Structure formats: C-alpha cells, structure tokens
Structure 1
Amino acid sequence: MSYHRRRHNNRGYDDDFRREVYETPEQKLKSTIFKLGEVDPILEVPRITKQLLEEPALNAPVISEGFRIAVTEQPFKIPYYAALLRELYDPVEDVDESSTASPTLGRQILDDFWKGFQASLDKLAWRDMRLSIHLFAHLTMAQVITTQSMFELLRSFAAVLDEFGVSHGRAKKAALCASEGLMIAGPVIKENPSTNVIDIISAIQAYIESSADSKRLVQPTVALFSDSVTVEAADEILDSALATLQILNSSDFSQTAESYPQPYLVAPKPSSAPFELPSILVPPEVIELDSLHTDSGEDALVKKEEWAEFYIRIFDNDVTPDPTTPAGYAVRSGLLDLIDIYEVNRKECARLLLEFPKWTLPGTFKPKPGAPPQDGVSGKDWQLESTLIETILGSLFLLPESNYKSIYYVALVTELCKLSPSTIGPAVGKSIRKMYGLLSDGLDVEVALRFVDWFAVHMSNFNFQWVWKEWVPDLDLSIQHPKRTFMRRAIDLEIRLSYYDRILKTLPEPMQNPDMKLLPVEAPGPDYEYDDPSNPNHDAAQTVLNLLRGRAKAEDVMSHLQGLKNTLETADSDSNVDSIIRSIAVQSLLHIGSRSFSHFLNAIERYLPLLRNLAAGGISSGGSPSFEARKDILDAVIAFWKHSKHMVVIVYDKLMQYQIVDPTDVVAWTFLHGRQFVATEDSSSFDAFQWSLLKGALDKANGRVVIARRRVAALRKEEDDRAAREKASDQATMEVDAEAKPDEPVVESAALTTALKAFATLTREQRNALSRALNGFVDCLVSQSNPNVRAGEVIQEKAWHNRVNWNEKEWLAWETWGWYRHFCRTFSPYLRNYAKTLGAVSFARVGPAGDPAVELFRNIWNNATGQEA
C-alpha cells in the first residue's frame, strides 16, 4: 500500500513523493481472512486454509482476532468463515509434514475466539454476541461444535426472557440471539433426542404475548378507537422471528438450507472430537442512567425506554422478502446488520449493499440483465433495489426514533443512487409513491414527518425532479388531509433547500394556484412589521433600530425604551404599551441579525442584558418577571419570522439556551398561541410545527437536568476521594495504641451545595414543563371544561373507515391524537418518574369515565408510563 504526500521545499515548489507502508505479518494474516471472497469464496477457502496452516501455531490468537473482526464486520461472509474454520479444525492429510502448523490449529482458534465471545458477553455487546452465535450455529451444522452445547448456549439466552422485570430492549436482543442461532442450527438441534427446540420457541412466544399492549404506541399505522393489535404494512422484528421459527419447526427445519448458504456441508465429517461450548450465564444489564427527583421526593433513575421494532413494508411479497418467512427473515436481517455496522462509512455500506446478492443463495434476487443462468436457483427472484430501499426506510421510520440520525439513512439512499442510478432511481420513485399512498391509511404523524424530510432532501440532491402532476387530483381533498399536508411541507422544505422561484417552476400550474395554499404568497423571509411607514410605531421603531445598528450599549437602549414607553403612554393610553415596546425591541434586534446566522448570534449575545431586562418586566409598571413579558418576546419572534417557521424554532432554542425564557414558557406558548400563524387557528388542534417547538423545549429541560446531575455526581466523587485520602492520611499518622476517634460528619463543599440547589431547580422546571405539556394535550383532546373541542368524539362518531369524507376538523383531530401518542412514547422515561403527580393533576380535568376519548387518552398514558389500565 502507498500514499501520496506533498511537501513544500526550500526552493519554493512542491515535491510529490511516495512512501511505502508495509504490513506486519500479523496484519497480513488478518487481512487475508478479512478479504476472503473477493473473487470466489468457495475457491479461496482451500487456498487460505493452506496459507494459515503454514503459519506458526503461535499465531492462533492473531488468526482468531482476524476471525473476530471479520465475523462482526462482515456477517454476510459468516457461512464461509465457518467453512474455513471447518478446514482448519480437521486439516486434510496431504498438508506438508514439514509444516510447523499444529493439526489442532482450528481448535486453538475456537478456544481463543470463545474468550473474545466471553468478553463481549461481559460487556453485553449484543451485536457482537449475536453474530458470533451465527458462526457457532454454522459450525454446529458443520459438526465442529457439539449440538448439545450449542442448544444450551441458545437456551441461556432464552432464559433472559423469564427474568423478573426484564426490560424490552434486553429481552429483544436476547430473543434475537436465541432465535437466529436456532434458525441456522435448527436442523441438527432438532435431530438430537436430548434437545427440545420447543423450549426456546415457547419462551419467545410467551414473552411476545406478555408485551403485546406496549406495541400499540409504536405501530407505524394508526387506527384510533380500535382494540386490534394487528398492524398492516409493517412487521415487528420479534413477531417475524417467531413466525419464522414456527415455519421452520413445522418442516423440521428443512427450509434452513433454502435460507442460508452452507458451503461447509460438502466436507466430510471431522475426525477430531467436536468442540464443546462452555456453559454461560448472561450477566445482568448495565443500566445507563440519569437521576432526577420523583413524586416521592427521592432520586430516581431514568433509563431510555426501548420499544418494539416495527419495520414498515412498502412492497408486496413477490417484490421484496417477506420477513415472516425463513428466507425473507434471513435476507432482511443480513441487510439490517450491514446498515447498522457500516453507519460509520455510508459509501462502503452502499457498495456492500449492492454486492449483497453475491453472498446469498442463487436465485434469491433477480439476476442482472445479461447475467448467465444460475444452477440450483431458489426461485425467489426478489428485486434487490426495492429490497434495499424498503429496508433502509424501515430503519429510518422506526418509532419512537430511528437508531441513527435521519441524515445517515438519507445519505445512504443518495449514495446508492449515485452507484446505480438506473436501477435505484426507479425503486426510490416507487417507494415514494407507496409511502404517499399510506398517508391516507393512517401513517403515523412522526413517520409522515420523517418521510417528507427525506423526500425534500432527496429531491434537493437530484435537481428537484419529481412528477408533481401525479398528485394534482389530491388537491380536491381537505386542506388538512395528510396528503395535502405532505405536499405543503415538502414544498416548504424544498424552498428552504433551494429558493422560491426555482421550486415554483417545478410545480404544475394547479399547484401554483394561491387558493390551494401549497405555496407561500412570497419568498420566505423576515417580516419586520415596523418597516411600513404607515405603521403608527414606525418612527419609534426606527430610533431603536438605529441604536442597535450603531452598536449602542445595552443600558442606553434600555433607557431609550423607557423614554419611548412614557411617550407612547401619553399618546395612546388605551394600548398595551409594554407589549408594543417589547415587540419593537425584539423585532428590531432580530432585524439586524436576519442577514445570517452569525449576525443573529452576535446580536443576541451583544444585547443579552437588554433581552433579560425585557423578560424580567424591566419596562413594565410592576417591573417583575411574568409570563406575559416572556410571551410578548415569543410573540415578537413568530411575528417577525412568520414566513419561515423553522427560524422560530432556532430562535426559541437560543432564547432558552441564554435563559431569556424558560422551557415551560415555550411549552405554554406552544399550546396557547402556537396556531396563531399557521393554516388554521383551531385552538383544539396540534400540528408538526407545534411539535417541533414542544420537543425542543422538553429536550432542553431534560438535557439541563442530565448536565446538572452529572455535575453533582462529579463533585460528590471529588469529595469522596478527598475524604478517603484524608482518612488514609490520618490513619497512617495515628498511634497504634491511641483511641479511635468517631468519624466526623462530612461537610458538603460550597460548590456541591450550589450544584444541588441548581439540580433541584432544574428538576422542578422539568416537572413543570412536562406537566404543562400534558395539560395542553388534555385541553386539546379531552378537557371537560371545553366540550366543543372533544376531538376524540369527532373521530369516534365518524369512524375510520369513513375517513374519505372527513373534513378539516376530523383530520386536525386525528393529527392531534397522533402527536399526543408521540409525546407519550418519546418522553416516557421522564413521564414514568412523575406519573403519579402528573396523572393526578391532569386527569382531574378530563371528561367522565367511560367516554371513548377519555378512555383512549388514559390507555395511551398507561401504556407509555407502565401504569395498569
């Protein structure tokens, strides 16, 4: 290998020189294993076997490390690594007798590999464990590992499902280890009279049945007021694994050979004694926790909630694999592993995804045009490109959140399009059309939001080329129909990613009609309302604007505002002068910061004293902090950026960061005034814009508590360490016969006392923000004091199957219910710790028991917080 490096020499020009980088023998050994199959794995196995056997036996740990890296980073090659280990475990007789290799090299490798597996087990590195179990399962099929020990290994993971209070995340990972190992090694395990595969299958089935209720909150399609747990257009990962195992068991695992390559079966039975896997116990889970105060006043531990994984289905079973069948599950599982492992390198991931058919059984995917006919084809003939896009989107649309940032999945699709535009492009187009169709069939509001984000970004990467005219007939739908909402959001995002006139030209004429309300009336931008000379406060605002442009001191601006207040009060005693002054000051500040993000930050930071004075009621008569003063600031922001709502989210985030307003203020404003400048002003509804504000505020409140807790923990550790050192020093100087002095109480340092007070304050703010959010949804959906906004009853009376006739009110109600569900599942770890207080306060304000809307509201809450119905 080599690399280029440029160096500027003393004569004023660059020398381009090359330095050779040599691999050590150990690196070459690992590289040989890792690169298995670059041409043909079947032909390469004997050659690599001979090469490894010629190496000194002391290299067994190095070879084992090479296998570990290869298995955990290239799981699609595991059957061939099993074949390679099979050859190493029982070498052929014609190996050169002068070779220094030991005939037990394969056993040495397995011994060392098991040590690595045990290390992964101790760390609970679940993916590494599961992929290692895949290798063990294939080796069991190759008769290198004993059937009984493999069965006991799988049963150890199945035993996790019976643990008291086991979390869903731990149970899910353990169940996948047990089920996927059984899928591969099932044929020989079931043949063994001393093993019983039903033990494992029954354990998985019992756990799935016990956790059925929690699945409702993360289903990607929603049908309110329905007791059914059946989900259309999606498959849950554990359900798929169980269905696959049941199919395999019913056929005595005969379909395993049609699902997984088994290149090792051509070799004769090993003459050496098979390897015995040691017994294990899966260690208890390591809980990564945050601490906060609960209803009881004590510190509680917060663990991120883990939910069922529903992967959305876009295409029919004859186009993409059905994950509830053995072959379909094997393909999807393999692709998901690739997407997960190569998150660090999307380009390499895209390349490997397109090469995936090379590592599957012949006939799994349709051959490329012009490819020679394949022998022994399985006859599945799935479309590779559609399968890849469906799997990636399934990962992107996981609820309540995807495993990685959305941008990774978006970029991965883009890389696939670049590598194979003629085949991936049509698959992307079909996926968009299929997902768009699901918008009418109850697609979850959060999934719909991610869908529109992906659509807009993908269009921006490919010149915004889309056949919008296909959707022109949908302009006859209600303006709040999910399809109309999708078009409106997509166009808004495309304009943000490009510019107004360009996007306008891509749309058919009917969509450009202002009556369709798809496009803003003008290019998005700031709206400084005092710029109009006809505004009665134009002159006053200009004086403030000139001061800010001149970088006047904050004290001078505050003094000028007080003078303006006195003048305006004299001229117009009927107006709310305090609100006008705050609006002028904030909008003027935003105006000078509207040129760029850096201008905005500079303006905010320069005039922090001014903003804090305004928020504290400095110009009001009372001069005390109030929600009204902070509400005026928030109102001024959205008035200025009403044509660019994403800027409202950004500004609010900065106002909370600099503690001009509190998260509770933003939460309250979101529910009370969030619809002031959106498509409808129905106070009982809640949309995606409001959700972005709400989530930003709650994330800020929760994040502050986490930081404060870590600060307290760090200070406590410092004090404990200091106390331990002092005690050790005292004991070292103490005389042997001296009387032992009683331990003196530990006095907290001033820093720790301050940190504890800050932690208590932030925890109280967190609880208030969560409480205000829950009360907001109560007011929107089930408030007994406002029967005219009983959105639940609206949908109950006009059932889901009649949604084609729904009007704006019904669709707004449906969306509001969707955001309430998403609020509960997203913030469930924090809601659980305050469930007693929050529930008691909020549910005292809801309608009567037995009301369908009230019961639905309570059921969603109970599922999210783990309460009994």
Structure 2
Amino acid sequence: MEVEATGESSLRDMADVPEESSAEAVTNASGVVIGSKRPAPSDRDEELRKRICGPPPDISEKLEEEMASLGDDHNINIVEALRNLSKTLIESLKDQEGIILQVFARCIKFKPEKLTIYSTLAGLVNAQDSDFGVALLSRAINELEFSLQKGEFDIALRITTFVADLANTKVVSVPSIFQLLNRFVNFVDNENLQTDYFVFMILHTLPWVGLLLHNEDRSSLAELLTRLNTYIVQRKKLHLKALQVWIGKLEQEQEDYIDSLWAQINDLNSRAWNEQHILRVDMAFVAELSASTRHEVPDFTIPEYSEDVSYPLPFIVFRLFKPSDVTGTDVSLPEPNSIERFLVEEDLNWIISNNYLNWKVCARELVSYFRADSIPLSYCIVEVVFSQMFRLPESPYMQLFYGALLIELCRKIPEDIPQVLACAIQTLYERIPHMQLICVERFINWFSYHLSNFQFRWSWDDWGEAVSEDEFSVKQIFVREVIEKCMRFSYHKRMTEILPHSFDDLIPQEPVFKFVVDNPEHPAHEDSIHFANKIRNKVTNEDIILSVKRPENEVQEGECIYDPDLVAIFTGTLLKLGSHTFSHTFAALQRYRDALAEFVKYADIMQPVLLRTIHECWGQHRQFVVLIIDKLLKLQIFDPPIIVAWVFSGDLKEEIHRSWVWEIFNIAITRASKQYHVNKTNKENFESLYAKKKARLEQNKTARGDAQEDDIFPRGDDIEVDEEDMGEDSNDATAQAKLVSLADQLNKAILAFEKSSDDLKYLVLDFCHKFIVSITEHLVECEKEQAPFDTPVYRYMIGRFRETLILHWREIFLFWNDVKTELLNSAAIDDKIQEVFVQFRALKF
C-alpha cells in the first residue's frame, strides 16, 4: 500500500519510526522517490499505532446490544456466544475497560433476568485477567452504595444478587459473601422498613448462591439462617389486614412478602438447596473457571435508618391460581411454597419493571420468557399482572399500563390468554364480597376499559344474581359500576342493547341535562332567559356580578351580598348553554371564572349552592358532575373541604353507595395535595436561588474589597464572571435591590407554602374525623337497638375509610402526629376504628 507523504506531520511520523521498521523507499523509473511502504506497527509500537490510527473506536453501543440480547435467540448456542464475547472483552480491556464496566453495570441494573449470564461472562473474563474482577467488584459495590444512598432499592437488590452470584463463577470468595450478607444482618436489631428490606434482600440472594454456601460452609449458613429466623419470628406484621386484597380467610393464604419468601427458602433448604429454575450457565465452564482468582468484596457504607427515606413498603403476596386451576397444558404451576414459584414471579416482575414504558415491548418480552416451556406461562403472566394491579397501597405503575398490557397479550397469544383471563375474572368475581373496596374500584376500572376494547362482549347472564342483591352488596356495586364506566367508553343506547333485560334496574338513566327552570311555568324562567341572553351576548363578569347582587337596603352587615337563588339560576343557565360537550362547558366556566370566584368569597353559602346546582342539572350524567367539579377545583372556585363536607352531608345520602361520589371526594384531597407540593417546590426553588444570589453578592463584595486594598486592576480575562448572574448586577446597588426583591418573593412563597400546608393538614383531620363520626354513629345506633353492627352499610363505610387511608397515605403520614394527638387520643373512639388506624400506621412505622 502506497502512502503519499503530504506534509510536515506525515514526515514527523515517519521520522519517529524505529530503525527495524523504517519505511522502504519506493522510486519511479527516474529514481525519484514517490512514496514509501510502511509495514504495520508491531505490538511494541502502541504509541505510534495510536498516532496513526487514532483512538480505539467506542464499542459501548455494540457491546451493550450484544450483552442485552444474550440468550434471546434460541438458535444461537449461549455457551459459544459467551465464549466468543469473553474473548472480545479480553482483547478490548486495555483500551475500553471503563466502557466495559459501564455496560456491565447497566445490564446488571436493567436486565436482571439474565443475571447468571452476566456473572458467567464476568467469570470468564476474570479467569484470564484477574484485575478485571477487582475492577468489576469495585464498580458494583460503588453502584450498590450509591443506590442505597439515593433510595434506589430495586437497583440495590439486583446488584447484591449479582455480587452474590459472582461466587458461583469464582470471582468472589465464599467467606466474602458471608461477610457481605452479615453486614446487612447486623442492622436488623430493631424492626423497621429498612431492616425489613435488608432481610428481604438477603433472602432474595440465597436461591442463587445458597447451594454453594451450603456445600462450602454449612455452619456459617446455618448461623445466618438462625439470625434471620429470629428477626422474622418477632416481626409484628400489623400491616397485614391493611394490605390484603381479600378480607377474611380464603383457601389461599395471603402472606406477608417476607413470610412467603422465608417459607420458600426453608423448603429449598429442606431440598439441600437444589432448585430447578435458575439458568446455571456457569456449569458449562467449570474447567475454565476452576483456576480463577477469587476476590474479596470491597468495604462500603450502609446508610443509617431515617424516617425521611422512602423505603420499600411491605406488601402481600398475591395468589389467584392453584395448580389444579391450570388446564390445557402439560406443565404444572409450581406450588406456592416452592422457590420456583418465587423465581418465576420475580423474573416476570423484572421484565415488567424494565419495559413498563412500552406495553407492546413488555408483552413481547413476557411472551418470549426463556422458561416458557417449563411453566404454564399464560397463567403465571396473568397472576403477576393482577398482583401488581391490586398491590396496596399503590400499584408499581399506572393502572392504564396494565390494561394496555393485557390487551396486547390477548393479541399476542389469542389462543390462550383470553381464556386464562376469563378464568381469572370469574375467580375474582366469586371472591369479590371479600375484596377490599380499593381493589374493587381498580377491578371496575380495568374491566370496563378491557370490555371497551372487545365490543363489551361478556357472559352477563352469569352475573344476574347481582341484580337482586342489596344495593350495598359488593357484587351489585361491582356490576352496576362496571356498566356505568362502560357507558363512559360508549353510550347509553349501546349498553341497553348489549345487556340482558334482567339488568335494566342496574342500567343508569339516560344521561341528559335537566334544568327545572326551563319549565315556562317556573317562577325563575324569565330570569333564566335574561341570563341566557347576557351569556350569548358575552357580557363581562362585572355585568353578571351586578345582576345577582341583592338590594343594599336588604343586606345586613356581614351578610352575603349576592342572591343565592339568582346565582343558582345563572350557574344552571351557564351549564345549559355549554351542555353540548365537555369543551363547551369548560369554556363557559373559564369565561365566567371571575364572577364565580367573586360569588364564592362567601364560601359557606355559595359553594354549596353551586354544588347543588351542578348535581341537579347533571345528576343523570355522573361523569359530567365529576369533570365539572374537578374543573372548578382546578380554577380554585371550590375548596377541597367543601367537597368533603358535601359528600358526608344529607344531599348525597341516597347516592353514598355510588362510586362517583367517592371519586370526587378523592379528587378533592388529591387537588389539595398537589397544591401543597407545588408550593413546597416553589419555596425550595426560591430558597436555593436566594442563597445562591446572596452568596455571590457577598463574594463579589469581598473580591472588590481585596482588589481595592491591593490597588490591583486585573485584566478582564482574569476575572471569572457569570454573565447570567451578574449582567446588570455588576453594580452593587442594583444587585442589592434585586436581592431584596427576591427576598420578598421568597417570603411570599413561604407564606403560600405554610397556608397550603395548614389547608392540607385541616383537610386530613377533617375527613378522618368525618369518617370516625359516621362509623361511630352507626355503632351507637346498632348498640341502642341491640342489632348486629356488621351490616352491608357498615362494611361499606369501613371499606371506604380504609380506601381513603390507603389512597392518601403520604398526606396522612405528613401530619400523623396531628392525627394521633387530635383524633386518636380520645377514649370515645371505638376499638374497631382504632384498629383500622393501628393497621394503617404499621405501613410506615
């Protein structure tokens, strides 16, 4: 290959070539040198190679793609793929070690279902270059420490399991694994959420490394298990009833997550730690790994317990299917107390966790699960999806994700998933009388959404029994609310055509707008026409305000200056003119927001007037009521406490068993919570900005003072100036003025935050108090009449109480001390109500 010498740099490169590899001159027929042949540099000429070829190419994307796809293609031999990839990594270590470690870290964190593949790959590279094993362990432990500090507990769990599995591939020594696990055990003296997490983390690693620990040091393993048993036996588990999907004794146990895994670990121990699920790729490389250098796990810091940290909350292991439920397949469902059941569920949970942003990819990954041939995959997937959907206090991901995922799975496996899903729905319906109301609501929302994607086809006649049951019975509530939610996805006539005639009593009335003032004989009919003309002519808010004012001579000091009847007529007329669509209604409310805001300055009088008017006009269209109230909460026309008071007032007594009532109740609390967090973030931002500006101003003053003392006038390029922060602020007076203005803004932000904090605290105390009073009144009345208290109404109100506590657990724990001081210290509170609070408190403390 001829290389033309084209300049000074090329000549300099040629001059640096050692004698033994100097260029061979190439001449033409006249003897003139026209170029030179340069042989490829030898390994000793690394510096020269870099100057000739440039830096080595970045292999991160290609490597990450290769590692992430390992084992996906069943036509490729995983053993050969690992052997070839390990050779590539060994060749690239010198120049690309940092990139390789980074890719390993990402794969460990986000592809945990392939954990044993990555530990085997690490073992193969360590066998050839022990320094890599040291570097990988150091990186993994740094990632572990960082994850624990930042509260990324799922990531920390995966890293710990990976580090433990490195002992199987001869990267880590067994004594070092015991030291690692015992470091976490040393923290479990006092029961709290952090110690629960550490115990679960240790139990989680044992299926991967338990056999090795059992074979090499049984006494240390027995000691570790004894310490774990001591902690687990002493756990109080007061949270169980608060988190169980079903209340009461069922055929299938609803176990705490640590208890369930502990039973499975004990079963595994009784089988001499021989499990049949984990992919043991390292067994194909026993010879290559046998001579590897084993390393010690580096030291790291475990953060102390803090109540400010959001540790993983406890949860209940959800069981829907028994082995006997599985039909149409030759493989059986693992027993609930077997470690194989846990490992399958953990793999599927990991797949969902890594793909929850894209339900189509998630469905594809679940369907292609590498152990699909050894389990009834459809049953396992459906059970895991429902376990996440019904997890309390909250699902890991949005409810809509699970709906979209199940629809996609039905499309991926149309011959299997729909039948399994139908079996699951029927099982859930049969158990629904025992189901917590918060889970019933999730079931209603998911099932109605699912039906809307399949033309509302269902064997409705099978649920005909619900029609004749009590209106507070959970079966009737479920069927009735599913029908109403289906109407939101369709329309009234469609539902009347689909449902059997026996369901007529549960079908809501046709959702039409009703305004009593429309009757020409109504005394206020003319006032309504008057307001309608004003609205059509787009009169101003001030004009409307003047139209509803009471005569001055009729208004006593401190009374409301607006006529409630005229306000109600105006509001009803406004809703009527905007009744064609949601958009029309919202636009009308937005246009006359200022007038409505003026009216509700007399909140105790006017807010109930507006609520009653909305309910009277749109009472047959509950979705409209919910959306209008939500809109007015956003516009700050309604205060959340007035919604809470309305729900518990006599106005809605006849509809207290309807879901839409509790929907607006929870929306009101959520709005107050959002306002609190918005103001909190705003305050923190202003505090940070003010501190930064103040420090910079003081720094500039100090710098100028030093310059004057030394009589130094430095060049402009010697002074570091932040143009954004300084700019016009380079003048001290201007900067000071802006700081004063910022301090004023900060004070306003602090006041806004304190007000929203007080408002949220009052709201939490208010709705807790109203539930206590409502349930206590029922208990007292039953005691007075010597009647049993455990009626459908009582179970319903207790269920709604539990639902509210669970839905708004963060807000309640913010003010838990106030709740305890002002509400729970009273001897008048019945033990049944106290028990609900005790169970709820156990979620956090």
TM-score normalised by length of structure 1: 0.78
Which residue of 2 is the match for residue 68 of structure 1? 105
My pick for the range that moved more, 689-698 or 525-534, is 525-534
SS at match of 2:385: helix
Q: Distance in 2 between matches of 1:392 and 1:689?
A: 26
CA deviation profile, 1:572-618 (whole Å, cap 9, x unmatched): xxxx99443222111222222222333222211210121122223xx
My pick for the range that moved more, 326-335 or 584-593, is 584-593
Q: Is the 8 A contact 1:828 1:865 kept in 2?
A: no
Q: Is the 8 A contact 2:571 2:610 kept in 1?
A: yes
Q: Distance in 2 between matches of 1:538 and 1:186?
A: 81
Corresponding residue pairs, total: 742
The correspondence of residues 658-807 of structure 1 with structure 2, limited to 5 A, is 658-673=635-650, 675-676=652-653, 678=655, 688-732=659-703, 749-783=743-777, 787-788=780-781, 796=789
CA gap 1:205/1:390 in 2 versus in 1, 3 angstroms: farther
Q: Is the 8 A contact 2:133 2:171 kept in 1?
A: no
Which residue of 2 is the match for residue 180 of structure 1? 204
Q: Distance in 1 between matches of 2:564 and 2:480?
A: 33
Q: Is the 8 A contact 1:218 1:307 kept in 2?
A: no
Which residue of 1 is the match for residue 117 of structure 2? 80
Which residue of 1 is the match for residue 443 of structure 2? 451
CA gap 1:46/1:627 in 2 versus in 1, 3 angstroms: same
Q: Is the 8 A contact 2:782 2:788 kept in 1?
A: no
CA deviation profile, 1:135-174 (whole Å, cap 9, x unmatched): 2333212333211111222222333433x674x2x44443
**Equivalent residue letter for 1:539:** E
Q: Is the 8 A contact 1:526 1:641 kept in 2?
A: yes
CA gap 1:754/1:125 in 2 versus in 1, 3 angstroms: closer
SS at match of 1:422: coil
Shift of 1:316: 0.9
SS at match of 1:307: coil
Q: Distance in 1 between matches of 2:378 and 2:347?
A: 15
Q: Distance in 2 between matches of 1:509 and 1:737?
A: 94
Which residue of 1 is the match for residue 482 of structure 2? 490
Shift of 1:31: 2.0
Shift of 1:842: 4.3
Shift of 1:561: 3.0
My pick for the range that moved more, 500-509 or 428-437, is 500-509
Shift of 1:715: 2.3
The correspondence of residues 633-648 of structure 1 with structure 2, limited to 5 A, is 633-648=610-625
SS at match of 1:773: helix
Q: Distance in 1 between matches of 2:670 and 2:797?
A: 20
The correspondence of residues 501-512 of structure 1 with structure 2, limited to 5 A, is 501-512=493-504
Match of 1:28 among 40, 52, 62: 62
CA gap 1:761/1:125 in 2 versus in 1, 3 angstroms: closer
Q: Aligned residues: percent identity?
A: 20
Shift of 1:494: 0.6
Match of 1:128 among 155, 164, 169: 155
The correspondence of residues 270-669 of structure 1 with structure 2, limited to 5 A, is 270-284=290-304, 307-318=313-324, 319=326, 320-356=333-369, 358-359=370-371, 364-365=374-375, 383-440=376-433, 442-512=434-504, 517-522=505-510, 524-562=511-549, 578-616=563-601, 625-669=602-646
Shift of 1:342: 0.9
Q: Distance in 2 between matches of 1:819 and 1:521?
A: 25
The correspondence of residues 172-321 of structure 1 with structure 2, limited to 5 A, is 172-193=196-217, 195-200=220-225, 202-203=227-228, 206=231, 209-223=234-248, 232=252, 234-254=254-274, 256=275, 258-266=276-284, 267-268=286-287, 269-284=289-304, 307-318=313-324, 319=326, 320-321=333-334
Match of 1:153 among 180, 195, 200: 180
Shift of 1:412: 0.8
Q: Distance in 2 between matches of 1:699 and 1:602?
A: 23
Q: Is the 8 A contact 1:590 1:600 kept in 2?
A: yes
Q: Distance in 1 between matches of 2:708 and 2:102?
A: 57
**Equivalent residue letter for 1:774:** C
Q: Distance in 2 between matches of 1:106 and 1:840?
A: 55
CA deviation profile, 1:723-753 (whole Å, cap 9, x unmatched): 3233334444558999xxxxx9x98932233
Shift of 1:676: 4.7
Stretches of structure 1 that go unaligned for 5 or more consecutive residues are 1-22, 92-101, 290-302, 366-382, 570-575, 617-624, 679-684, 739-743, 799-809
Q: Distance in 1 between matches of 2:311 and 2:805?
A: 11
Q: Is the 8 A contact 1:83 1:263 kept in 2?
A: yes
CA deviation profile, 1:558-579 (whole Å, cap 9, x unmatched): 333348x99999xxxxxx9944
CA gap 1:231/1:761 in 2 versus in 1, 3 angstroms: farther
SS at match of 2:186: helix
SS at match of 1:310: coil
Which residue of 1 is the match for residue 41 of structure 2? none
Q: Distance in 1 between matches of 2:422 and 2:840?
A: 36
Q: Distance in 1 between matches of 2:318 and 2:293?
A: 46
TM-score normalised by length of structure 2: 0.80
Q: Distance in 1 between matches of 2:813 and 2:131?
A: 55
Q: Is the 8 A contact 1:237 1:308 kept in 2?
A: yes
CA deviation profile, 1:236-271 (whole Å, cap 9, x unmatched): 3222221122222333313x3x13121212323521
SS at match of 1:90: helix
Shift of 1:416: 0.7
Which structure: greater helix fraction?
Answer: 2
Q: Is the 8 A contact 1:149 1:277 kept in 2?
A: yes
Q: Distance in 1 between matches of 2:222 and 2:585?
A: 64
Q: Is the 8 A contact 1:711 1:755 kept in 2?
A: yes
Q: Distance in 2 between matches of 1:499 and 1:868?
A: 43
CA gap 1:55/1:787 in 2 versus in 1, 3 angstroms: closer
My pick for the range that moved more, 175-184 or 748-757, is 748-757
CA gap 1:285/1:567 in 2 versus in 1, 3 angstroms: same
SS at match of 1:274: coil
Q: Distance in 2 between matches of 1:821 and 1:750?
A: 43
CA gap 1:694/1:186 in 2 versus in 1, 3 angstroms: same
Q: Is the 8 A contact 1:792 1:813 kept in 2?
A: no
CA deviation profile, 1:766-807 (whole Å, cap 9, x unmatched): 2221222122112210149x93377999665x5xxxxxxxxx
Q: Distance in 1 between matches of 2:123 and 2:300?
A: 24
Q: Distance in 2 between matches of 1:338 and 1:867?
A: 27
SS at match of 1:196: helix
Task: Check if 1:44 corresponds to 2:62.
Answer: no
Which residue of 2 is the match for residue 864 of structure 1? 840
CA deviation profile, 1:188-228 (whole Å, cap 9, x unmatched): 213333623442563366257434112221111124xxxx9
The correspondence of residues 133-148 of structure 1 with structure 2, limited to 5 A, is 133-148=160-175
Stretches of structure 2 that go unaligned for 5 or more consecutive residues are 1-56, 327-332, 556-560, 710-735
SS at match of 2:379: helix
